[in-house]
Amino acid sequence: MGIQLPITARLVQLPISWGPEDTVLNRANCNGYVACFLSPPLNAVSLYMFKNPFVSFFEIMHIIAFITSISFMLMMAGVFGWVALKSRKRRAYDPIVKRWYKTRKFYGTGLVIFMLVLSIYTLRELPYNEPAYGASQEATVVNVEALQFGWNIDQHEFEAGEPIEFRVTSADVNHGFGIYDEDMNLIEQTQAMPNYTNKVYVTFDEPGTYEILCLEYCGVGHHMMKDELVVK
């Protein structure tokens, strides 16, 4: 005797069994129900779902996922078995090797050309961090020093359209200098490093309050590294 599920099939009024004597669910008595044309495991799941009102959707999905996984594993095992059997047959590999080398050379050359063109197209604007002002303009130089856990900034108020050159360094560990607009969109950033000065060129087009945050974890007070710039 197989293991009986504690239900009776509502669609066909038949007990569902996983035993060897009832693996086809007695399809002759299904009277044309669609569920009877499914494979035995899925048929059992369908009938179980129709009959048992206490079965959750997730339990049914788990059963279906299990059956699907087993089916795919068996299919993959069959594919690997077929390949293993085929690989035992001896064939002349020289023509295959020559053809593959030719194909590899073609696709390899095409890939290198494609990546070269893509790189030139995307990097043609280097350097990205060009000054945001012309040769006839004089930028406002602002010295920025990061330290645990705050900022030393020379100037906090600016005019809209004023070209600014931030010179960013650090007094202790590495920090990240990020400028955010009022919608918290990152508009400029650079690294704040000890014994080195990075330059960031910004021209604020819109008045408002811009927030400065540290973008690199620098210790337990990292979240307190905030400051503001006011553009009028």
Decide: pTM greater than 0.85. no
Kindly tell me if the per-residue pLDDT of 192 is higher than 90: yes
E strand or H helix that includes residue 98: helix 94-123
Tokens of 81: 């078995």
Q: Are 189 and 214 in contact (CB under 8 A)?
A: no
Q: Are 34 and 16 in contact (CB under 8 A)?
A: no
**Residue 192: closest CA among 211, 213, 206:** 213
Count CB-CB contacts under 10 A for residue 226.
Answer: 12
User: If you average pLDDT over residues 33-57, what whole number do you get?
Assistant: 49
Planar angle of CA 75, 79, 83, nearest 5 degrees = 170
Burial of 198 (0-12, 13-18, 19+ CB in 10 A): middle
Kindly tell me if the per-residue pLDDT of 134 is higher than 90: no
What SS3 class is residue 161?
coil
pLDDT above 70 coverage of the chain, percent? 67
Q: Would you state the pLDDT for residue 21?
A: 42
Look at 100 and 88; give whichever has higher pLDDT: 100
pLDDT, averaged across the chain: 75
State the residue for tokens 């010295």: 143
Q: Are 212 and 193 in contact (CB under 8 A)?
A: no
